[in-house]
Amino acid sequence: MAIREIITPSNEILRKKAHKVTNFKDPKLQTLIDDMVDTMLDAPGVGLAAPQVAVSQRVIVVRLPDDEESKQEYGEEAGVLYVLVNPEIARASKEMLEGVEACLSIPGYFGTVDRHESVTVKGYDRSGKEVRVKAVGWLARVFQHEIDHLDGILYIDRASKVWRAEEMEDEPVE
C-alpha cells in the first residue's frame, strides 16, 4: 500500500470519462483500491476517485470522519468505508440542497454546489459483488462529487460560487 500523488486539473486524465472496470481479479485493481484508501486518509479527505490519482478507472472510495462529533451528526455512517467499482446513481431525490464543497484535486478553494439531498448508488465491491447504498445529506453529496470525477466533471463546473480558502478566514464562524 502506498500514498499516491493527487493530480490537479492541469492533468487531462481528470477531465476524461474513466473506463469501466471489467476484471475484478486483477491484482492491480486491488492495489489501486488499497492505495486510494491510504491516499484519501492521508490527505485527509472524505472521498477519492481513481482519476484523481491519474488512473482512468471507475473506482471511488468514501469515508466520513469517525470522530465523536461526526458520530453524533452522521450516526452509523461515520467511519464506514465505502469502496465502489463502476458506481452509478440509480435514484436521486427531487429535493436539492445547496452546500459547500472542496476537492483534493483543487486545493485551497471552496464552492457552493447544489446536489440531490439523497441518492441510491449502485455498483460493485472490490470483489465484484453487487452493492447498493442509500445515502442522505453529506454522504449523498460526497457520492455525487466522486461519481462526477468518473465522468470528468469537477465541482467547480457545477458551483454557483467559488472562492479561495483564505477568504473564509475573514468570515465569522457561525
> Which member of 12, 146, 166, 167 is catalytic?
146
Burial class (CB in 10 A: 0-12, 13-18, 19+), 158: middle
- What b/e sequence results for 26-48 when a residue is b if at least 16 CB atoms lie within 10 Å of its CB, and e otherwise? eeebeebbebbbbbbeeeebbbb
Is residue 171 among the annotated active site residues? no
The grid cell for 84 is 465502489
Distance CA 133, CA 84 (A): 10
Strand partners, 134: 120
Catalytic center residues: 146
